Amino acid sequence: MKNTIAGILLLLLIEYVLISIGSGCAQIGAPTGGPKDTIAPKLIKALPDNNSVNFKGDKIVLLFDEYIDLQNVQSNLLVTPFPKNLPAIQSNLRTISIRLKDSLLPNTTYSINLGDAVKDVNEGNVFNNLVYTFSTGNFIDSLELTGKVLMAETGRIDSTLMVCLYKNASDSDVVKRKPDYITRLNSEGKFKFNFLPAALFKIYALKDGDGSKTYNSGTEAFAFIDKEISTTDKNISLLLFAYNEKKQVNTGSPTASGKKQKEKKLRYTTTLVQQQQDVLQPMELNFNMPVKNFNADKIILTDTFYKPVGAKVSIDSSREKISINYSWKQDQKLMLILSNDALTDENGNNLPQSDTIRFKCKTKEDYGTVLLIFDKTDLSKNPMIFFVEADQVKHQAYLTGREWNNTLFPPGEYEIRILFDENKNGKWDPGNYSLKIQPEKVYSFPQKMTVKSNWENEREMVWPNNY
C-alpha cells in the first residue's frame, strides 16, 4: 500500500511539472506540419498495476503517453460486479483517476470498462475498450460466457439491449434488484462476459428504458433462459430471444396541441396504383376522418356498361377504411361509382361530389414468379414464410415442403422471415416470463429478395448453423 501511495504521489508530481511547463513556456498542442496523428493513446502505467491481486485500496490512477480527454463516461462505463454506487472518474492531462465508492467484496475479481470514453486531445483518436481489472483475492477469475441475442418477432438485432447475470438468484430477482454483472451487445448482437468465477448464473437480456437495470415493464424488450448457466461448461452456446410482452402504446399526437386537427372537407384516397387494381387484394378507400353514417348500397362496382358485378362493400372498426372485395379477373376493366351521400363524417359532411373511378385489373405480366428452395426445414415447427416490405407484412403462408412457389407475386424488395408457429394460430406470439413461456421464434434471412415483374425469381435459402 505504501508503494502504491508513493507511486500516485510521483505521478501527481510529474503532472504538476508538466502543467508548469505548459503554462510557463510552451503551449500544449500538436506541432504544426507532418502527417496526421492516427494512433490512439497508450496506457503506459497503472497504479496499482492492472490485474493486481489482494487489492485493498479505493483509488486507481491510469497514466497515458499523451494528453487525453474523457467523453460520455456514464454511457460507456461498465463495472462488474455491478456496484451500488458507480465510481467517480476524472481526467487531468495524461491521467485518469478512479475513486471507488463501494466497499469491495472479498475474493472477487472486478473489472472497470471505460468503453470508448478515452480519446486523445488533439485528433480524437479513441482508446477502444479500455478495461482495468483487479482482484480482492489471490487470483484473477478467468472464466467467460458468450452468446447472442435476437429479437424474437423479427429475427433482427437490437444492439441497445444489455445482458445481465444474477448469482444465487430467485426468479423474481430480475424484477427486484440490479444484476451482479452487466455487459453490452455489439453490432452483431453478440455479448461476452470476462473475469467470471466458477458459479451458476441466471441470464437475461433487457432494454433498460428507465435506467433501473431491472425488468419492470412488459413493454420493455426482455429475454431469458429457462435454467441456470454454469461458467465451467465449455460447450455451452447461448442464444436468447427477446420479446415485448405488451405493445408500446403510442401516446403521441400529430399536432403540437395534442389534439387531432379536424379538417373541413371529407376526402379519400384509393389503393389503386396508376389506375390499376391488384388482383390479389381488395380495393380500399381510405378517409381523412372517421365515417359516421355509411350506406354500402351507394358504393357500386360495375362493368364498363354500368352493370353491377356483385362486390361486397364493408367498413373497418376505425371507420376510416372501406374495402371492396371482389374476385378480380386479370385485365378486366371496371368502374366504382361512389355517391356523394353514401357516407357522412362526424361533422355531418358528405363527399364534395359523386365520383366514378375507372380502372383495370393487373395482368399476369404485372407480377413475378417466386420459387424458394430451402436446404432443410423442420416442418414439425409449423414454419410460416413472411414477405416484409417497409416493416409491413405483405404476404404470408405456411411452408409444407422444401420448396415454396407463387406464380402471381407483386414486384418489390422483400425481407424474408420464417416464423416457427408452434401453436399454429397464424401469428407470432410473445413470451411470458411469469409462466416461463418462451416467445415464438422468427428467423430473418440477411439478404433481401427483389421480385421483378414478368420474371422468374428463384433463390436457394440456406439456414445458419444455430437454426
Q: DSSP readout, 9-60?
A: HHHHHHHHHHHHHHHHT---SPPSSSSPP-PPP-EEEEESPTTBSS---SEE
State the sign of the Cα–Cα–Cα–Cα dihedral 290, 293, 295, 299: negative
Is residue 318 domain-shared with residue 437, that is, in the same domain? Answer: no
Is residue 188 domain-shared with residue 286, that is, in the same domain? Answer: no
Structure-block grid coordinates of residue 403: 420448396
Is residue 336 domain-shared with residue 356, that is, in the same domain? Answer: yes
Distance CA 233, CA 140 (A): 19
Show the domain range for 313: 268-362
* Final residue before a domain boundary, out of 92, 116, 135: 135
> Which CATH number goes with the domain that contains 115?
2.60.40.3710
Tell me the one-letter amino acid at 453.
S
Q: Is residue 34 included in any domain, yes or no? A: no
Distance CA 246, CA 217 (A): 9
- For residues 309 and 302, is the Cβ–Cβ distance under 8 A? yes
* Final residue before a domain boundary, out of 135, 155, 189: 135
pLDDT the model gives residue 246? 84
Q: Helices then strands (H, E): number in the chain?
A: 3, 36
Is residue 8 domain-shared with residue 74, that is, in the same domain? Answer: yes
pLDDT the model gives residue 118? 93
Distance CA 366, CA 277 (A): 11
pLDDT the model gives residue 39? 86
Is residue 112 domain-shared with residue 12, that is, in the same domain? Answer: yes
pLDDT the model gives residue 459? 93
3-state secondary structure 192-239: EEEEECCCEEEEEEECCCCCCCCCCCCCCCEEECCCCEECCCCCCCEE
Tell me the one-letter amino acid at 65.
D
DSSP letter at 67 equals -
Q: Is residue 162 included in any domain, yes or no? A: yes
Is residue 383 domain-shared with residue 437, that is, in the same domain? Answer: yes
> Which CATH number goes with the domain that contains 278?
2.60.40.1220
Q: Is residue 252 included in any domain, yes or no? A: no
Length of the chain: 467
Question: Is the link from the previous residue into 48 a cis peptide, with omega within 30 of 0?
Answer: yes
Is residue 163 domain-shared with residue 229, that is, in the same domain? Answer: yes
Is residue 203 domain-shared with residue 315, that is, in the same domain? Answer: no
Distance CA 385, CA 277 (A): 25
Beta bridge mates, 146: 192
pLDDT the model gives residue 74? 85
Q: Is residue 260 included in any domain, yes or no? A: no
> Which CATH number goes with the domain that contains 428?
2.60.40.1120
Is residue 214 domain-shared with residue 166, that is, in the same domain? Answer: yes
Q: How many domains does the chain have?
A: 4
pLDDT the model gives residue 463? 80
pLDDT the model gives residue 255? 46
Range list of β-strands (E), 295-345? 299-302, 312-315, 321-325, 333-338, 343-345
Is residue 278 domain-shared with residue 302, that is, in the same domain? Answer: yes
Place of cell 371492396: 324
Question: Is the link from the previous residue into 81 a cis peptide, with omega within 30 of 0?
Answer: yes
Strands of 312-315's sheet, edge to edge?
268-270, 283-287, 321-325, 312-315
- Report, in angstroms and rounded to the nearest whole number, the Rg of the chain calculated over CA atoms: 31
Per-residue pLDDT of the chain (467 residues; tens, 9 = 90+): 445 555 555 555 555 444 443 434 433 444 555 566 678 899 999 999 999 999 998 999 999 999 999 988 888 899 999 998 999 999 999 999 999 998 899 999 999 999 889 998 888 888 888 999 999 999 999 999 999 999 999 999 999 999 999 998 898 999 999 999 999 999 999 999 999 999 999 999 999 877 788 898 878 899 999 999 999 998 788 999 999 998 766 544 444 444 455 567 889 999 999 999 999 999 999 999 999 998 999 999 999 999 999 999 999 999 999 999 999 999 999 999 999 999 999 888 899 999 999 999 999 999 999 999 998 888 888 999 999 999 999 999 999 999 999 999 999 999 999 999 989 999 999 999 999 999 999 999 988 999 999 999 999 998 876 55
Tell me the one-letter amino acid at 463.
W
Q: Is residue 303 included in any domain, yes or no? A: yes
Q: Is residue 81 included in any domain, yes or no? A: yes
The answer, as to whether pTM is greater than 0.85, is no
Is residue 396 domain-shared with residue 408, that is, in the same domain? Answer: yes
* Final residue before a domain boundary, out of 118, 135, 152: 135
> Which CATH number goes with the domain that contains 210?
2.60.40.10
Q: Is residue 235 included in any domain, yes or no? A: yes
Distance CA 350, CA 221 (A): 45
Q: Is residue 412 included in any domain, yes or no? A: yes
- For residues 269 and 289, is the Cβ–Cβ distance under 8 A? no
How distant is the alpha carbon of residue 435 from its chain centre? 24
Is residue 129 domain-shared with residue 215, that is, in the same domain? Answer: no
Query: What contacts 314, CB < 8 A, 6 or more positions away?
Result: 296, 322, 323, 325
